[in-house]
Structure 1
């Protein structure tokens, strides 16, 4: 995996962290490194290891808190995975929202952007479960993105992104639940995503497809399930269905997306969507049968680069590239014993902070979000600041 690696010394008063630290953010997933093409993680070797890891896990069990040895980790946090689906695109998807002359045009642009957040995933490895308070702060042009891990058990990630020039805002609150079925694992990305186009007074709410990891008969990964994208003000809705490969893993019917755009009030279907999220998707206008391409994955999620540090002094100690940098470097070097030690250091640091809070009778609260939970509404993450500031880390 190609990565950007910067070594430097970060002086902190805490003696536990007063050491040479490594900042590392790996290259994002793109069409050039699709899950089944990585020689380092191909079956059958990794498959045997995965099945061995899960041999004592009962079907139906929640794997969210399962502790993985470093050999099963990809060198990045789940926080980075969420973020790069927003800021890592080869073309500017965000500006397209405001270019739509009609509400239908803008919904189509939102649909295309939503599909662009679907990325290839490697089989047999998983990202790190972010530490409590871990952050990721990156700027791409005028779009500033900030994520914070607002809960550890359960693992809840919050995202806030703003573009002052386009007057656009994104707010996500994600809660990942992984269920083991015996022959597969399905990761359900619970929670909601909001996209606000302030120039048009429109708010779009949407969910995410689920990640299916198959072990038998053919190992592989797929995004599956139903996605709904709804504009609260116009009543326009897009419904998408992500379809997995066949039981035997044939590619021809895998990574398929079908759906429709309709008016929720009149129930009138305005367009039909069909294609594959890793190639192209088309929209057929029901009024005149015109068919046009609305999304091209090769243009959008190819040739992606890792973020780079522009302002070293203002990188927060909680930045994911710092929290996990030492471990990620060991994984990339395949230094598994050193990787285990590095992971143990991160975990023990979290336990130490918890003990300190408990001894002082203090409770932890997020720095950048107000968080609430109810059985009826689930998790809600509201950003404290109206706009996300420019980040010391940028991506082109």
Structure 2
């Protein structure tokens, strides 16, 4: 049996290293892609799209028409949650004076990765071997699609000072429940502070797309932030407030607590309350003092669009190169061209997968090792200790 490295995947057949990348505005509080792309009667079109899908169906490989696609890959959305951050919340994680302050900083950062979703639109499903590599200041972020069935994405990020390291290995599992689509995320995220010998395990909320009785999209579910090194933990609930049968109310509420999981009584230290698209407050239970934990206007308003700094350095597997023609067509609303370009990318992926199977080749990721533990969970580990500077950068706001 022959091993085949990641650069022989579909991306090698759909792009060249000198091809132009198409980069679009990140999802943020103000402006962005929603107003530009939203067609008339969107809610009715979305409901009609899922009219023949049976309840309980796994939508991981559901083929959306190009008219329902954002002009970017899921890898880009994952990456934007890390490298597009107006408040520099990630760097704050390593600056806390003690473990408690650092844990609350990680909680604030985790909220900052929650971006306003757009009802009726989804990113492209990454093809096998697709990568996304971006630098923002001293932070370098690299993602790779390490599996296609099931879809598994890996992320590694490091900063030049060696203060912060991120490791993700996750797989979205969207399911249709008749009146809504709920996308859970299997896998794990780690925030490491190497100089402080602390590792934080961080969950992410589910994405809930309601079709009936009233179309809407929101983040929901419970998120845990755990630091076993310090015995501290946080629990956040993303939920809709004051709703009746799923209608009305505010769908952007977040509420939770910070506590010592190492103590028998699980002593609560802070209470968390607010809205992830506005501000989230932190209340000291003992003193009653209230402070601002997270400010969405600082973190995710008016985010800067990445740009190509080194054209020659672009990988043929780069998301913004792989999906270039599809994105270009979507942006000018040439739906026939977008559909054809999308079929080309996905068709090349299937063709190369078939060829590998016929040759007995086992595809191997280029930047990560990939395995499954005894419980069947995916594990991804970077092959290099640090991420190199990228050909795509987020320009400085100054």
The two structures have a TM-score, normalised by structure 1, of 0.92
**Unaligned residue ranges in structure 1 (runs of 5+):** 1-13
- CA 1:91/1:16 → structure 2, altered by over 3 Å: closer, same or farther? closer
- CA 1:264/1:185 → structure 2, altered by over 3 Å: closer, same or farther? same
Count of equivalent residues? 380
Q: How does 1:282-297 map to 2 (within 5 A)?
A: 282-297=281-296
Q: CA deviation at 1:217?
A: 2.0
CA contact (8 A) 1:88 1:304 kept: yes
Alignment of 1:188 with 2:191, yes or no, is: no
Query: Counterpart of 1:31 in 2: which secondary structure?
Result: coil
CA contact (8 A) 1:34 1:120 kept: no
Query: Counterpart of 1:186 in 2: which secondary structure?
Result: strand
For residues 287-319 of structure 1, what are the alpha-carbon distances to aligned partners after superposition, in whole Å with 9 as ceiling and x for unaligned? 101000010001110111211111111110000
For residues 10-48 of structure 1, what are the alpha-carbon distances to aligned partners after superposition, in whole Å with 9 as ceiling and x for unaligned? xxxx8875799441011100000489x6374267x1222
Q: Which has the higher contact order (CA 8 A, sep 6+)?
A: 2
Q: Please name the residue that 1:155 is paired with.
A: 151
In the alignment, the residues of structure 2 paired with residue 356 and residue 40 of structure 1 have an alpha-carbon distance, to the nearest angstrom, of 37
CA contact (8 A) 1:158 1:172 kept: yes
CA contact (8 A) 1:34 1:122 kept: no
In the alignment, the residues of structure 2 paired with residue 215 and residue 166 of structure 1 have an alpha-carbon distance, to the nearest angstrom, of 45
- CA 1:47/1:287 → structure 2, altered by over 3 Å: closer, same or farther? same
Query: Counterpart of 2:363 in 1: which secondary structure?
Result: coil
Q: Please name the residue that 1:65 is paired with.
A: 61
- CA 1:289/1:296 → structure 2, altered by over 3 Å: closer, same or farther? same
Q: Please name the residue that 1:351 is paired with.
A: 350
Q: Please name the residue that 1:329 is paired with.
A: 328
Q: CA deviation at 1:209?
A: 0.2
Q: CA deviation at 1:248?
A: 5.2
**Unaligned residue ranges in structure 2 (runs of 5+):** 1-11
Bigger mean CA offset, 377-386 vs 133-142:
377-386
Alignment of 1:28 with 2:26, yes or no, is: yes
Query: Counterpart of 1:38 in 2: which secondary structure?
Result: helix
Q: CA deviation at 1:356?
A: 2.9
In the alignment, the residues of structure 1 paired with residue 75 and residue 98 of structure 2 have an alpha-carbon distance, to the nearest angstrom, of 34
- CA 1:74/1:272 → structure 2, altered by over 3 Å: closer, same or farther? same
In the alignment, the residues of structure 1 paired with residue 356 and residue 320 of structure 2 have an alpha-carbon distance, to the nearest angstrom, of 25
- CA 1:71/1:15 → structure 2, altered by over 3 Å: closer, same or farther? closer
Q: How does 1:5-24 map to 2 (within 5 A)?
A: 17=15, 21-24=19-22
- Of 250, 255, 260, which residue of structure 1 is paired with 2:252? 255
CA contact (8 A) 2:156 2:167 kept: yes
Q: How does 1:105-124 map to 2 (within 5 A)?
A: 105-124=101-120
Q: Please name the residue that 2:48 is paired with.
A: 52
Alignment of 1:79 with 2:78, yes or no, is: no
- CA 1:202/1:368 → structure 2, altered by over 3 Å: closer, same or farther? same
